[in-house]
Amino acid sequence: MSYVVEMLNIRKEFPGIVANDNITLTLKKGEIHALLGENGAGKSTLMGVLFGMYQPEKGIIKIREKEVKITSPNVANQLGIGMVHQHFKLVENFTVTENIILGSEPLKGMVLDIDKAAKRIAELSKHYGLNVDPHSKIEDISVGMQQRVEIMKMLYREAEVLIFDEPTAVLTPHEIEELMKIMRNLINEGKSIIIITHKLKEIKAVADRCTVIRRGKGIGTVNVKETSTAQMAEMMVGREVNFKVDKKASTPGEVVLQIDSLSVKNNRKVLGLKNFSVEVKRGEIFGIAGVEGNGQSEIVEAITGLRKVESGKILLNGKEITNIPIRKRIESGIGHIPEDRHRRGLVLDYTLENNMVLEVYNKPPFAKAGLLNGSAIKNYAKSILENFDVRSGEGGASIARTLSGGNQQKAIIGREMELDPDLLIAVQPTRGLDVGSIEYIHKRLIEHRDKGKAVLLVSLELDEVLQLSDRIAIVNNGELIGTVIASETNENEVGLMMAGVSKERSV
Amino acid sequence: MRNTIVSLISIVLGLIAGGLLMLFIGASPIEGYTYLFQGALKNISRIGDTLATATPLIFSGLAVAFAFRTGLFNIGASGQMLIGGLAATAVALTFDLSRPILLIVMVLAGIIGGGLWAFIPGLFKAKFNVHEVVSTIMMNWIAYWTVYYVVPGYFKGEFLETESRKLAEETTLRTPWLTELFQGSYINLGLFFGVIAVIIMAFIINKTTLGFELKAVGFNRHAAEYAGMKVNRNIILSMLISGALAGLGGVALYTGNASSMQIGILPSQGYDGIAVALLGANSPVGVFFAALLFGILYSGTGFMNAMIEIPPELANTIIAIIIYFAATSVLIHRVLNKFRKTRSNSNDVDGPVGKKGEA
Domain assignment present for B114: yes
Beta bridge partners of A21: A217
CA distances to A244, A278, B144, B250, B256 from B157, in Å? 87, 74, 18, 19, 18
Lowest mean pLDDT among A428-432, B193-197, B238-242, B335-339: B335-339
Complex ipTM, two decimals?
Answer: 0.81
- Asked whether the beta carbons of residue B208 and residue A359 sit closer than 8 angstroms, the reply is no
Query: Which residues of B are less than 8 Å from A354 in CB distance?
Result: 212, 216
Distance from CA of B68 to the nearest CA of A (A): 14
Closest Cα to residue A414, out of A390, A449, A450?
A390
A396 touches chain B (CB under 8 A): no
Query: Which residues of B are less than 8 Å from A39 in CB distance?
Result: 356, 358
pLDDT, position A507? 45
- Order of strands across the sheet that contains A309-316: A271-281, A255-265, A309-316, A319-320
- Distance CA(A24)–CA(A1), nearest Å, equals 17
A304 touches chain B (CB under 8 A): yes
CA distances to A36, A243, B60 from A234, in Å? 11, 11, 61
pLDDT, position A242? 67
Closest Cα to residue A80, out of A66, A96, A60, A98?
A66
- Distance CA(B72)–CA(A348), nearest Å, equals 18
B207 touches chain A (CB under 8 A): yes
Beta bridge partners of A45: none
- Asked whether the beta carbons of residue B226 and residue A45 sit closer than 8 angstroms, the reply is no
Query: Which residues of A are less than 8 Å from B356 in CB distance?
Result: 39-40, 402-404, 407
Distance from CA of B73 to the nearest CA of A (A): 19
Number of domains comprising chain B: 1
Average pLDDT, chain B: 88
How crowded is residue B102: how many other Cβ atoms within 10 Å of its Cβ? 17
- Asked whether the beta carbons of residue A306 and residue B344 sit closer than 8 angstroms, the reply is no
Determine contact, residues B326/B10, Cβ cutoff 8 Å.
yes
pLDDT, position B323? 79
Asked if residue B358 has pLDDT above 50, the reply is no
Handedness of CA A351, A356, A359, A362 (dihedral sign): negative
- Distance CA(B267)–CA(B253), nearest Å, equals 9
- Distance CA(A431)–CA(A135), nearest Å, equals 32
Domain A3-237 bears CATH identifier 3.40.50.300? yes
Domain assignment present for B68: yes
DSSP assigned state of B131: -
What's the per-residue H, E or C state across A90-101? CCCCCEHHHHHH
Ranges in chain A, pLDDT < 50: 505-507
Query: Which residues of B are less than 8 Å from A407 in CB distance?
Result: 356, 358
pLDDT tens-place string over residues A334-346: 999 998 888 899 9
Query: Which residues of B are less than 8 Å from A327 in CB distance?
Result: 228-229
Determine contact, residues A303/A330, Cβ cutoff 8 Å.
no
Domain assignment present for B141: yes
Q: Is B202 exposed, middle or buried (0-12, 13-18, 19+ CB in 10 A)?
A: middle
pLDDT tens-place string over residues A222-258: 999 999 888 888 888 777 766 677 788 888 889 999 9
- Distance CA(A307)–CA(A316), nearest Å, equals 17
Determine contact, residues B248/B111, Cβ cutoff 8 Å.
yes
Return the ∠ at Cα A287 (arms to A286 and A290), rounded to 5°.
150
Helix (DSSP H) and strand (DSSP E) numbers for chain A: 16, 24
- Asked whether the beta carbons of residue A55 and residue B347 sit closer than 8 angstroms, the reply is yes
- Asked whether the beta carbons of residue B219 and residue A347 sit closer than 8 angstroms, the reply is yes
Return the ∠ at Cα A179 (arms to A178 and A182), rounded to 5°.
90
A421 touches chain B (CB under 8 A): no
Return the ∠ at Cα A16 (arms to A11 and A21), rounded to 5°.
20
CA distances to A24, A117, A420, B274 from A10, in Å? 6, 39, 47, 49
CA B74 to chain centre: 11
The CATH topology of domain A244-333+423-429+454-507 is: Rossmann fold (3.40.50)
CA distances to B78, B215, B277, B332 from B327, in Å? 21, 21, 11, 10
pLDDT, position B347? 40
- Distance CA(A25)–CA(A103), nearest Å, equals 30
How crowded is residue B170: how many other Cβ atoms within 10 Å of its Cβ? 13
Q: Which of residues 332-361 of A touch B (CB under 8 A)?
A: 336, 338, 343-350, 354, 358-359, 361
Query: Which residues of B are less than 8 Å from A393 in CB distance?
Result: 357
- Distance CA(B166)–CA(B261), nearest Å, equals 8
Report which of residues B148 and A463 the model is more confident about: B148
Size of interface A-B (CB pairs under 8 A): 119
pLDDT, position B352? 37
> Using CB atoms, which residue from B228, B230, B356 is nearest to A40?
B356
- Asked whether the beta carbons of residue B358 and residue A354 sit closer than 8 angstroms, the reply is no
pLDDT, position B343? 55
Domain assignment present for B28: no
Residue A434 backbone phi and psi in degrees, to 5: -90, 170
The H or E element containing residue A60 is: strand A58-63
Determine contact, residues A282/A231, Cβ cutoff 8 Å.
no
Closest Cα to residue B272, out of B346, B231, B226, B322?
B322
pLDDT tens-place string over residues B274-311: 999 998 989 999 999 999 999 998 888 888 888 888 88
Interface mutation vs chain B, best among A21, A343, A347, most B CBs within 10 Å: A347
Distance from CA of A158 to the nearest CA of B (A): 28
- Distance CA(A190)–CA(B343), nearest Å, equals 47
Sequence spans of domains, chain A:
3-237, 244-333+423-429+454-507, 340-420
A397 touches chain B (CB under 8 A): no
pLDDT tens-place string over residues A50-72: 998 889 999 999 999 899 999 98
For residue A310, give the 3-state DSSP assignment: strand
How crowded is residue B160: how many other Cβ atoms within 10 Å of its Cβ? 13
pLDDT, position A243? 65
pLDDT, position A450? 93
pLDDT, position A503? 60
Asked if residue B18 has pLDDT above 90, the reply is no
pLDDT, position B356? 34
Distance from CA of A352 to the nearest CA of B (A): 13
pLDDT, position A195? 94
Domain assignment present for B140: yes
Asked if residue B169 has pLDDT above 60, the reply is yes
How crowded is residue B113: how many other Cβ atoms within 10 Å of its Cβ? 28
- Strands A217-223 and A209-214, how do they pair? antiparallel
pLDDT, position B267? 94
Confidence tier at B342 by pLDDT (50, 70, 90)? low
B100 touches chain A (CB under 8 A): no
pLDDT tens-place string over residues B194-238: 999 999 999 999 999 999 999 999 999 999 999 999 999 999 999
Domain assignment present for B215: no
pLDDT, position A114? 86
Mean pLDDT of B126-133: 93
pLDDT tens-place string over residues A465-483: 998 999 999 998 899 999 9
A115 touches chain B (CB under 8 A): no
Domain carrying residue B196? 54-203+230-282
Percentage of the residues of chain A whose pLDDT score is greater than 70: 97
Residue A88 carries which side chain, given as an amino acid letter? Answer: F
DSSP assigned state of A89: -
For residue B155, give the 3-state DSSP assignment: coil
Under 8 Å CB-to-CB from B139, ≥6 apart: which residues?
A: B76, B79, B80, B117, B118, B120, B121
> Using CB atoms, which residue from A15, A371, A393 is nearest to B346?
A15
pLDDT tens-place string over residues B52-65: 999 999 999 999 99
Chain A residue with minimum CA distance to B218: A347
Domain assignment present for B312: no
> Using CB atoms, which residue from B226, B351, B355 is nearest to A344?
B226
